[in-house]
Amino acid sequence: MKNIKDYNLDDLKKEFEELGEKPYRAEQVFMWLYKEKVKKIDDMTNLSKELRNKLKENFSICNYEIERKLISKDGTKKYLFNILDGNMIETVLMEYHHGKTVCVSSQIGCKMGCKFCASTGIPFVRNLTAGEIVEQIIAIEQDENTKISNIVFMGIGEPFDNFENVIKAIEILNNPKGLNIGARHISISTSGIVPKIYELADKKIQCTLSISLHATNDKKRSNMMPVNNAYPIEELMKACKYYIEKTNKRISFEYALAKDNNDNLEDAKELVSLLHGMLAHVNLIPINKIENGKFVKSTNNNIIKFRDYLNEHGIVATIRRELGSDIEAACGQLRRKTIEEKR
């Protein structure tokens, strides 16, 4: 049965027309789903019983169960959700001075194989649907009785490997009749799937693009991120420049600093050269240690020196605040541990 939350408003109207219903009925249902956040079709009380029965015959509503919820001493909350087919996905709620941010997953597992990521140890299962992506935000808003202001696609999975569903989820999140989260408050992070960077640029969606860069030459980057073998740095930078030119929006480059790997002064110099003249910001990330991982966090002194060098040479750089380190809040850690415990 089709999950009714998998449809953006335009597609839902088409579904209703096929059922012989007026388009405004789709708008009513859409608002029940995302404004009232009902869990059952029977709760849509301004619909006739006949229409509700028709909807129940054709659609289901995706609702998540909380498998585990961990709360950090810094206030970060890590959710492990059971979804309809018995798989589990991770979602993180973070609180900042500018509001509450949810880090969502876009896939069950990940194909990218980044050597510093905890989700690498879990085989890829499938893409999440648009509704399954959006439900992560709804479930947290209901559990916390709060309003989410920012969304980052930085959880498990490569968003651009599930491009159509991610874009459809953004359309639902952004719709004023949906969750009404401004596109400028939505960030998508990619490991560098070059064709989809061009596609996103042409769509002119006002979200923020983040690129997981992590190294300044192909040898180091391929060692950390196998995707670089398919889309090397030169191709990636060309796509990024196209995106900036097309959208006039700044790109955030993520750079996870690993000790004795990519954290020395030469790396900083190469990064300045690589990003020179681009509308760019560098987000320096103290790398998370994962079980059986080959990379360890750089020293605090090196991280600060790296940031200062970039800033002194015209590249705006900040250090990401570490959140949830005491509750395995990094991508994939909780899911991986829970699956291993159940074996």
Residues designated catalytic: 90, 331
CA distances from 43 to 13, 17, 56, 179, 323 (A): 20, 22, 12, 19, 38
Distance of CA 76 to the CA centre of its chain: 16
DSSP state of 279: S
Q: Which secondary structure element, helix H or strand E, spans residue 81, and what is its range?
A: strand 77-82
Sign of the C-alpha dihedral computed for residues 169, 131, 160 and 286 taken in this order: positive
For residue 258, what are the β-bridge partners? 297
Sheet holding 65-71, edge to edge: 65-71, 77-82, 88-96, 99-103, 150-153, 186-190, 208-212, 251-257, 280-286, 316-319
Q: What is the largest CA-CA distance in the chain?
A: 69
